[in-house]
C-alpha cells in the first residue's frame, strides 16, 4: 500500500510542473492565442522595417513574431520622455538586425495585418 501512495504523490508533483517549451519564441509563433495576456520574456533577433518590427529565431526559420509599442509609449515618445519600451524601439531603429531579450504581452489585434503581436514593455540588446 505504501508503494501505491508514493507513486500517486510522485505523479501529482510532476503533474504540477508547468511545461516550458525549449524555445518559447517558436511556441509563441506557432500558437500565439495560448499566450494572450501573459507577460513573457523572449530571446531572438529583432529587426525594424519601414512599417513593422519583428522578432525571429533560427530555431523556427522563416517565421516571425511582430513587435509593437503600446499606445502609452507612443504618446510618451511624443513628449520626449521615453519609457523602457520607447528606448528599446529607438535603439532598434538605429540598428539592423540585433540580438535582443524583450519582455511584454501577446495581444490579439483587430483590423491589423497580423492577428497577434507582442506589445513590448522593455528590451535589452545583447
Work out how many domains the chain is built from and give that number: 1
Q: Would 94 be classed as within a structural domain?
A: yes
Q: Would 16 be classed as within a structural domain?
A: no
Phi (first) and psi of residue 29, to 5 degrees:
-65, -40
Q: Would 99 be classed as within a structural domain?
A: yes
- Average predicted confidence (pLDDT) for the chain: 82
Q: Would 10 be classed as within a structural domain?
A: no
Q: Would 95 be classed as within a structural domain?
A: yes
Domain CATH code at residue 33? 2.40.50.140
> Which tens digit of pLDDT belongs to each residue from 39-57?
999 999 999 998 899 999 9
pLDDT at 18 over 50: no
DSSP 51-78: S-EEEE-TTSTT--EEEEE-HHHHHHHH
Which domain does 43 fall in, by range?
21-125
Q: What is the pLDDT of residue 30?
A: 94
Q: Would 114 be classed as within a structural domain?
A: yes
Q: How many residues does the chain have?
A: 126
Percent of the chain scored above 90 by pLDDT?
60
Considering the entire predicted model, what is its pTM?
0.76
Q: What is the pLDDT of residue 74?
A: 55
Q: Return d(Cα 92, Cα 123) in angstroms, integer.
A: 10
Q: Would 15 be classed as within a structural domain?
A: no
pLDDT at 22 over 90: no
pLDDT at 16 over 50: no
Q: Return d(Cα 46, Cα 39) in angstroms, integer.
A: 18
- Per-residue confidence band for 110, with pLDDT thresholds at 50, 70 and 90: confident
Q: What is the pLDDT of residue 17?
A: 40
Q: Would 50 be classed as within a structural domain?
A: yes
Q: Return d(Cα 58, Cα 93) in angstroms, integer.
A: 22
Answer with the residue of higher pLDDT: 102 or 10: 102
Amino acid at each position: 500500500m505504501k508503494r501505491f501512495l508514493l507513486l500517486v504523490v510522485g505523479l501529482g508533483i510532476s503533474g504540477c510542473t508547468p511545461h516550458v517549451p525549449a524555445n518559447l519564441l517558436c511556441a509563441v509563433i506557432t500558437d500565439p492565442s495560448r499566450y494572450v495576456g501573459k507577460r513573457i520574456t523572449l530571446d531572438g533577433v529583432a529587426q525594424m522595417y519601414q512599417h513593422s518590427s519583428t522578432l525571429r529565431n533560427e530555431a523556427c526559420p522563416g517565421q516571425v513574431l511582430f513587435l509593437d509599442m503600446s499606445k502609452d509609449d507612443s504618446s510618451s515618445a511624443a513628449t520626449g520622455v521615453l519609457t523602457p519600451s520607447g528606448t528599446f524601439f529607438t535603439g532598434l531603429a538605429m540598428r539592423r538586425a540585433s540580438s535582443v531579450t524583450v519582455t511584454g504581452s501577446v495581444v490579439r489585434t483587430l483590423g491589423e495585418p497580423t492577428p497577434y503581436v507582442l506589445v513590448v514593455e522593455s528590451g535589452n540588446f545583447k
